[in-house]
Structure 1
């Protein structure tokens, strides 16, 4: 049996560590230029669409697919589930639980990035913890200072007026985030409900500083199998 692990998250790295020595191939989409190496054979880059993914599964005799990509990589997950179903291959999505507000949090959920402009007043300093791939969806935040943190140096100027990039490679401690938000005079934090402990530190910092948070809702899960814990994912692999 050859398992394909769709990776790209810290949880996928932990799964890969537990699968070291097994017949498994990891795949990274290439969103980060210098990703942390995984302890299993790894391919980098996209598959070239649905046909390319199907060809890869066939050429490498993949017998099952475990999707541990980002909870917001819904297009990749939907495509993978659809093709696995067509080929009769077992498929499982590892979908870690989302964050829930705690006492003292000031969160507002929005369904689309473009909605941020209806809630954030002109003149505010906005910190985007959403990554660069959806940055263009915030172009209507005119009149605000917009700061987008990303891992890799930008390949071009900020895509709209009033914005700036900030380089940083996670993980970030609560103390790191407190100092950063205070230095930048952040008024609003915008994040995706990615879940997980490692990236929760910015939410803890926002709570301690009284910064309101816009939480972009998760995509609705599909009707394919999914689990919410790494141990459940490993049980599925062992049962194959």
Structure 2
């Protein structure tokens, strides 16, 4: 059984680890796992199993890869905001007649004391900022910074946190913090205090690795602009944890 995991997330790595352990059981000795990484991070954390890096050439290219490599099951465990590849996966799986499962960590939910401002895009998030603060903690990653590189935001100062250094276009007044989660609550509290942050911008990535910034912002009474995640393609089955994905995959194998 050949499983292709579209990964790059902590959940994808955990699923690959579970499959590596599961493959030692007598009933699953023929299990083969290929992990596909987009290649957008220079030093990714590699999961167990075979690893390929780079794109497929759209839905048609992915469908051809599925056929050529005799893939039996496709699991989309990409980042919740990697919307394009998810739609390509749905089209490719349908074309190649391969079962598809989407693994998505649950989104964040506001609690009492949160001052969240939900938006549908980075551009909408940028438009809200002048009315919310002057010193912005921007945690949406290095891609998409062009949305904040507009004249209307030239007077604002941005602290941009990302794994790799961002490229232009980016905000006119900006400091870059290269770091990778998981982050601690004490660390996020100190970061907000040291940089005198008065508004936070984030995508609804979900999961615990980067959630402490939300708690720190709530404690400090800061507004948080939250970009809503895109929907999973219609008709695709979704699970929210690697263990549930493993259970589904084993049922497919049997």
Short-chain TM bin? over 0.9
Tell me how far apart the structure 1 counterparts of residues 8 and 211 of structure 2 sit (CA, whole Å). Answer: 18
Q: Which runs of 5+ in 2 are unaligned?
A: 24-30
After TM superposition, list the pairs within 5 Å mapping 1:208-227 onto structure 2.
208-223=219-234, 224-227=236-239
Tell me how far apart the structure 1 counterparts of residues 165 and 42 of structure 2 sit (CA, whole Å). Answer: 9
Tell me how far apart the structure 1 counterparts of residues 161 and 74 of structure 2 sit (CA, whole Å). Answer: 31
2:196 equivalent among 185, 209, 213: 185
Matched, 1:3 2:3: yes
Q: Which runs of 5+ in 1 are unaligned?
A: none
Question: What is the CA distance between 1:49 and its match in structure 2?
Answer: 2.4
1:45-102 Cα shifts (integer Å, max 9, x gaps): 1123233322321221111101110111111001101110111110010122110011
- Cα 1:108/1:160, change in 2 over 3 Å: closer
1:175-220 Cα shifts (integer Å, max 9, x gaps): 1111111111111100111111111111111111211100101112
Matched, 1:51 2:60: yes
How many residue pairs match? The answer is 239
Tell me how far apart the structure 2 counterparts of residues 77 and 48 of structure 1 sit (CA, whole Å). Answer: 13
Tell me how far apart the structure 2 counterparts of residues 108 and 99 of structure 1 sit (CA, whole Å). Answer: 13
Tell me how far apart the structure 1 counterparts of residues 220 and 13 of structure 2 sit (CA, whole Å). Answer: 32
Q: Which residue of 1 aligns with 2:241?
A: 229
Q: What secondary structure does 2:34 align onto?
A: strand
For normalisation by structure 2, the TM-score amounts to 0.89
Matched, 1:164 2:178: no
Measured on the aligned residues, the alpha-carbon RMSD in Å equals: 1.6
Tell me how far apart the structure 1 counterparts of residues 240 and 47 of structure 2 sit (CA, whole Å). Answer: 22
Tell me how far apart the structure 2 counterparts of residues 158 and 201 of structure 1 sit (CA, whole Å). Answer: 28
For normalisation by structure 1, the TM-score amounts to 0.93
Q: Which residue of 2 aligns with 1:137?
A: 147
1:83 equivalent among 76, 89, 92: 92
Task: Using the TM superposition, name which of 178-187 and 40-49 deviates more.
Answer: 40-49
1:158, 1:165 within 8 Å by CA — same for their partners in 2?
A: no
Task: Using the TM superposition, name which of 160-169 and 58-67 deviates more.
Answer: 160-169
